[in-house]
Structure 1
């Protein structure tokens, strides 16, 4: 079955349940299909999607003066469908999608905290993002709320969050964080355990709520691109590309081919740097310091080269609306191919050891197993999904330029454990090196950037990019003056963090660090 037939089947099922369902092609939210539905049919639209095995990919609100337009994204076979309804602030209630899509849980609660939209039949509707920073009757994303907040005073301690407790003989609780020993962002982990066996884990995130969505309002496109690059610093290329792609779709603008090739080159460099660093860090979490030091050395060399070529170790602010800010020197392609060849040779013996080292196998094989059904139910993408048998990659399955002209090898394994996630990462490094060689070989000439044309007032677009963690979705809507009226960036970490809760059950407490690192959700990418 292909994308067209699944969309037809979805619309047919909706009509059979009495829902008026016709995709609004004339107002397509590029590159997705747009489906306006009545608020009363919001839950049915999710139920039918779940029955047809469509993946749930996010929900966001678009605040207006008197109401909020709510959009949710469903995906099937690389085809994207955006459900859309309008909710008045006088009756801000919709059916929850969480009963059919567990991954919707926290994003719905995020909307409740920031926009005041409540979701009926939500299994757990406690606040998620608020953390006492504003009152329960205030909603920061509504137009009247000031960007600096209402009262510049210290927020009270968030001590009464209702964690679920497990009761029974010998059960005890381990609170970890939000302040950690390492140089990482804050997140709280509440374990329920018997002996060393973990019975359940509950996370509390959102401590670094940055106000990204509010800060975006009123910005010029160039300013939004800079902001998007700081949603999650280790994914700066992917998030900036997604935001720029959304703006370019809204403006109906075609980016110069050379710029698209360079964006892909940057994205693959970002993927390689993060995967190599994480392979080493996973090994370090079980005491195998040799691999950690070797991977750290190679990552450092790689990032220094990125700084030399593009002006920043993490490649920040290189992707801009309409193209890229910096071209490659004309004579560098050959030396870059030599870099790729050298890295391929350097990682080969390291990856071989990691793949076949009995002490590592003892700690990683079978540890932190996430089965295919759970990964799918939670909406996981990227290496977590691929390690659990879910074969999806935007670059291949919903290809955007220049990947639509490239062969993208997608590693997929079935066992769903830490070993599988490590092996997927190592295979992706090698696949990215091959892709970068192909990008350099086919690099077209021409300009690398141009200004966006004037945008139709109210124009909106979606950006969809395969970041190194998985699928990134960005929504952008312009106001009547060409400034940003709404920006919502959805990092894959929204779905990876719940996966960590699921896969840690029945593992032992000492295995939490390696399970956590094998997933490596972004605090910042989640904590908008």
Structure 2
């Protein structure tokens, strides 16, 4: 496989989706990004590899219609710092990923315009980089003085700032939003995230590879199935393990149930943010019933720890299959009725339409992905673009909208609920018999693998490096990527020109993960 205009030798990683890796030079690092952009591709993730490797590598993953490309750049040192060429001029969504890599690994982008700390809020010294620590080391850090974050100031007559968060009125994760406004019209929004940083990627290096899926499933609680699957896919790629077919079908069943559960919750919350409490009441009822059946069938409301390396934790029986089919019929009937109510409600549509619009051109240039991207004409969905079992036999229908406003993001959710209900019914009817798990043998030699799954919010990606040993393989580096990295910066643009009271509605229409990005 080749990236057009770039002469590289790629190695295929053994995964159910097409993923290749290759090593690049300093000169090829930026030219590869440009070649991908010119071919209509996207940036998937940027991260620093294991700092124990000498020299360490900077990594980037790109997406084209042919698959994903994981490129590694051996780093140089300049003035005692590991450096690499900046990617932000080609892909603006690289900025925050590069800033996070600087905070965690001490690698710095040459020529970058924004060098502010992202995850380090002053809780650890500027010369401390957590991912440079030995996996077994728990450093004792001296107390540091917290610093004020240097927000970009907007000057002009009548301009004032509104500070929101990081502590919010609801029971939600912390994040700070600094609005610059004239009256109620928003001129600029700047976010300050990182408050839920937990040191997950350092903790992954302290866990056995077969156990780390439990931590992966807790990166972002609303995406526990997606993260568990994508980590297991990366581990199975690194160990060249092929899971049984029935296990793959059961994983898809859980992933689609997770997608529906989150869409039901969002549709209710979006109605509530537009003062339509009836919508919140009805969708909350449907979501609660949906989660209770998940608990009854899979043993956990969110299906946490149900996906394991090599397959799934347990099978479903005939009675459970019938229960799931019956629930699909009941939920579809109610959601179609609610869809008609939402569409016919003039007050609701007045709040939704034209609010928080992201044009297709802006979405493409900023790398907007997932369901928010599909609401702005970004036709990317792994289940359609790179289908693997069971999606490869089910012909998933991708839903897209073109207006890019709250109404479009609501419409995408409704369409995806109906499509996921169809997929679940097909899975339950056509799922083959057989084993639901197989053993995963860890290799004695060093190896790497990658996972790539279309979660409910968008693409999830895991890059996994295993360090072999005579006794047991261990995790040398595990990078977990959430689509919120791409989408949080776009939210800053979506609010521009809107009024401050519309921010909760616009924010909920994206419903991005704090925890998934902060790690």
What's the TM-score once normalised by structure 2's chain length?
0.95
**Which one of 463, 471, 485 corresponds to residue 459 of structure 2?**
471
- How far apart, CA to CA, are the structure 1 residues paired with 2:418 and 2:366? 28
Alignment CA distance shift 1:164-1:326 (3 Å): same
**Which one of 401, 417, 440 corresponds to residue 389 of structure 2?**
401
Residue 134 of structure 1 pairs with residue 124 of structure 2: yes
1:235-276 C-alpha deviation (Å, 9 max, x unpaired): 000011000000001111110111111100000000000001
Give the CA deviation at 1:49.
2.2
- How far apart, CA to CA, are the structure 2 residues paired with 1:219 and 1:462? 18
Q: Secondary structure at the match of 1:71?
A: strand
Match of 2:496 in 1: 505
Residue 292 of structure 1 pairs with residue 287 of structure 2: no
* Matched-pair contact (CA < 8 Å) for 1:475–1:489: yes
| 1:228-377 correspondence to structure 2 within 5 Å | 228-377=216-365
- How far apart, CA to CA, are the structure 1 residues paired with 2:42 and 2:233? 22
For the aligned residue pairs, the C-alpha RMSD in angstroms reads 1.7
Give the CA deviation at 1:145.
7.5
- How far apart, CA to CA, are the structure 1 residues paired with 2:160 and 2:100? 30
* Matched-pair contact (CA < 8 Å) for 2:376–2:402: yes
Residue 157 of structure 1 pairs with residue 146 of structure 2: yes
Alignment CA distance shift 1:157-1:137 (3 Å): closer
* Matched-pair contact (CA < 8 Å) for 2:399–2:415: yes
- How far apart, CA to CA, are the structure 2 residues paired with 1:474 and 1:500? 24
Q: Secondary structure at the match of 1:199?
A: strand
* Matched-pair contact (CA < 8 Å) for 2:465–2:475: yes
Match of 1:495 in 2: 486
Q: Secondary structure at the match of 1:498?
A: helix
| 1:209-220 correspondence to structure 2 within 5 Å | 209-220=197-208
Residue 22 of structure 1 pairs with residue 12 of structure 2: no
| 1:105-124 correspondence to structure 2 within 5 Å | 105-124=95-114
Give the CA deviation at 1:152.
7.2
Give the CA deviation at 1:91.
4.5
| 1:55-94 correspondence to structure 2 within 5 Å | 55-65=42-52, 66-88=54-76, 90-94=80-84
What's the TM-score once normalised by structure 1's chain length?
0.94
* Matched-pair contact (CA < 8 Å) for 2:233–2:452: yes
* Matched-pair contact (CA < 8 Å) for 1:187–1:206: yes
Residue 421 of structure 1 pairs with residue 409 of structure 2: yes
Q: Secondary structure at the match of 2:75?
A: strand
Q: Secondary structure at the match of 1:267?
A: helix
Match of 1:18 in 2: none
- How far apart, CA to CA, are the structure 2 residues paired with 1:190 and 1:297? 35
Alignment CA distance shift 1:28-1:437 (3 Å): closer
1:340-367 C-alpha deviation (Å, 9 max, x unpaired): 0010011111111112210001111000
Give 5+ residue unaligned stretches, structure 1: 15-20
* Matched-pair contact (CA < 8 Å) for 1:40–1:94: no
Q: Secondary structure at the match of 1:126?
A: coil
- How far apart, CA to CA, are the structure 2 residues paired with 1:317 and 1:28? 24
- How far apart, CA to CA, are the structure 1 residues paired with 2:130 and 2:51? 13
Give the CA deviation at 1:401.
1.7
* Matched-pair contact (CA < 8 Å) for 2:18–2:386: no
Give the CA deviation at 1:31.
3.8
Q: Secondary structure at the match of 1:221?
A: coil
Give the CA deviation at 1:24.
2.7
Q: Secondary structure at the match of 1:35?
A: strand
Q: Secondary structure at the match of 1:141?
A: helix
